[in-house]
């Protein structure tokens, strides 16, 4: 068995719903179960063939054992292993990497990994009510006011401060946000999302279910002028509601096999996972830390950033891809601009949304299908390589390198 590379046999995601949108009532197991079942169906195998399920979740609310529930929702036999991964926004990419580790170790041959998030269902918490409450106000804690638990800084402040540190202006961040929407709609018009998306049926009180087939957040009317007028948020020096993503709902899944198992079953891989890396740093390092995980993953496979055909860097804030590409370029502005031209070519989270537990796997999925399109268009004479990376809470990052050669 090849213990170095892992085959990705299928890759799919739900549409990403906006905050309070059409998908707001879905539980994480239900939505994730639908997408996992679709990944299995697209792979052309039976649910019984799946040996392990890894599910990334960042904001589980009051629910627990979500991967286990998801497994049952997807009709996978209950004697299979499932585990839930929490590594903040990195969670679903970490789930993919952990499932691939099981395959590389020879413990399983077939696994499903991905993530789910419904930020519309995140509850308020009464953290001081366990032992009763007498006089005085009642305080509700809102998990969606996202700040670092170690430093107390809102994420928007962390990203903005790093942008200032690296000389990335508010105008550059607004321009990147506008680019995200523009690239998204160009890709949609060209049907570039048709392979990665599945439709979700939403039950209605009366009549037929509502069919949700497209992402809800992208704004075709976004302009630089409108973005420039928005105020900064949470005291950030540069971050606004326009150059950051919304609070989203969605799920993603990839079906993985050992390369030997794929050959045995005569399954053609969409792509191959070549390298992966986790990185950690100071809790305030949110915009720069993806560059570190990218460096580590490139070192593992003996490649340089110049050999990568496409990148996906999560737009947790516009500052993140701007700062990270500048670091990847050794702070050479011209080289950074060259890297940026091959980054998030179909738009990113600022346009399509950022369901935090599902985004990491979504980056991989989007990257796979775009690499395949470009390789076909070029005549398929050489392998195409992609790098996906993103930041997570408290100074974390994750990266993967994939190869498309079939």
Average pLDDT value for residue range 379-403: 96
Decide: 119 and 60 in contact? Cβ < 8 Å. Answer: no
Cα–Cα distances (Å) from 262 to 32, 109, 270, 280, in that order, read 24, 9, 11, 33
**pLDDT at residue 118, as a whole number:** 97
d(CA 147, CA 334): 33
**What are the extents of the domains in the chain?**
6-122+244-404
**pLDDT at residue 307, as a whole number:** 98
Burial string for 148-161 (b: 16+ CB within 10 Å, else e) reads beeeebbbbbbbbb
* CATH architecture under which domain 6-122+244-404 falls: 3-Layer(aba) Sandwich (3.40)
pLDDT tens per residue, range 304-352:
999 999 999 999 999 999 999 999 999 999 999 999 999 999 999 999 9
d(CA 307, CA 384): 9
Percent of the chain with pLDDT over 90: 90
pLDDT tens per residue, range 41-100:
999 999 999 999 999 999 998 899 999 999 999 999 999 999 999 999 999 999 999 999
* Beta bridge mates, 211: 201
Predicted confidence band of residue 134 (pLDDT cuts 50, 70, 90): confident
Which residues are designated catalytic?
Answer: 89, 354, 391
pLDDT tens per residue, range 194-227:
999 999 999 998 999 999 999 999 999 999 999 9
Predicted confidence band of residue 138 (pLDDT cuts 50, 70, 90): confident
**pLDDT at residue 2, as a whole number:** 40
**pLDDT at residue 393, as a whole number:** 85
Q: Of all helices (H) and strands (E), which one includes residue 276?
A: strand 271-280
pLDDT tens per residue, range 149-200:
888 899 999 999 999 999 999 999 999 999 999 999 999 999 999 999 999 9
Average pLDDT, the chain: 96
Q: Which residues, in sequence order, are CB contacts of 301 under 8 Å at separation 6+?
A: 274, 275, 401
Q: What is the dihedral of CA 120, 121, 124, 129, to 10 degrees?
A: 180
Q: Which residues, in sequence order, are CB contacts of 246 under 8 Å at separation 6+?
A: 18, 19, 217, 353, 354
- Residue located via tokens 């050669």: 405
d(CA 92, CA 114): 5
Predicted confidence band of residue 1 (pLDDT cuts 50, 70, 90): very low
From the centroid of its chain, how far is CA 69?
Answer: 21
**pLDDT at residue 314, as a whole number:** 98
d(CA 61, CA 122): 5
DSSP structural state of residue 381: -
């Amino acid at each position: 068995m090849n213990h170095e590379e892992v085959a990705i046999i299928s890759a799919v995601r739900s549409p990403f719903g906006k905050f309070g949108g059409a998908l707001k009532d879905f539980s994480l197991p239900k939505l994730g179960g639908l997408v996992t079942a679709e990944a299995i169906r697209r792979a052309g195998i039976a649910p019984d063939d799946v040996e392990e399920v890894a599910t990334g979740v960042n904001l589980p609310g009051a629910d627990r054992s979500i991967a286990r529930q998801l497994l049952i929702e997807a009709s996978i036999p209950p004697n299979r292993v499932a585990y839930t991964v929490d590594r903040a926004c990195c969670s679903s990419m970490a789930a993919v990497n952990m499932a691939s580790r099981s395959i590389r170790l020879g413990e399983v041959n077939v696994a499903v990994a991905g993530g789910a998030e419904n930020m519309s269902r995140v509850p308020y918490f009464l953290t001081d009510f366990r032992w009763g409450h007498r006089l005085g106000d009642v305080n509700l804690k809102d998990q969606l006011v996202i700040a670092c638990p170690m430093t107390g800084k809102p994420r928007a402040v962390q990203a903005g401060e790093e942008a200032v540190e690296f000389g990335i202006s508010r105008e550059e961040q607004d321009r990147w946000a506008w680019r995200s929407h523009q690239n998204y709609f160009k890709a949609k018009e060209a049907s570039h999302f048709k392979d990665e998306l599945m439709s979700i049926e939403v039950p209605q009180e009366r009549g037929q279910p509502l069919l949700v087939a497209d992402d809800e957040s992208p704004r075709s009317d976004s302009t630089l002028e409108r973005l420039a007028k928005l105020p900064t948020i949470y005291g950030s020096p540069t971050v606004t509601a326009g150059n950051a993503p919304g609070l989203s709902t969605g799920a993603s899944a990839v079906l993985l096999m050992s390369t030997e198992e794929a050959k045995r079953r005569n399954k053609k891989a969409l792509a191959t996972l070549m390298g992966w890396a986790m990185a950690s740093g100071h809790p305030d390092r949110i915009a720069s830390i993806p560059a570190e995980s990218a460096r580590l993953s490139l070192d593992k496979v003996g490649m340089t950033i110049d050999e990568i055909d496409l990148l996906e860097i999560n737009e947790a804030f516009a500052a993140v891809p701007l700062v990270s590409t500048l670091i990847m370029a050794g702070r050479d502005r011209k080289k950074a601009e060259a890297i940026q031209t091959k980054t998030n070519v179909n738009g990113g989270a600022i346009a399509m949304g950022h369901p935090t537990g599902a985004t990491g796997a979504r980056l991989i999925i989007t990257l796979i299908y775009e690499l395949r399109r470009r390789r076909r268009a070029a005549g398929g004479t050489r392998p195409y390589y992609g790098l996906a990376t993103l930041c997570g809470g408290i100074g974390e990052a994750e990266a993967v390198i994939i190869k498309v050669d079939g």
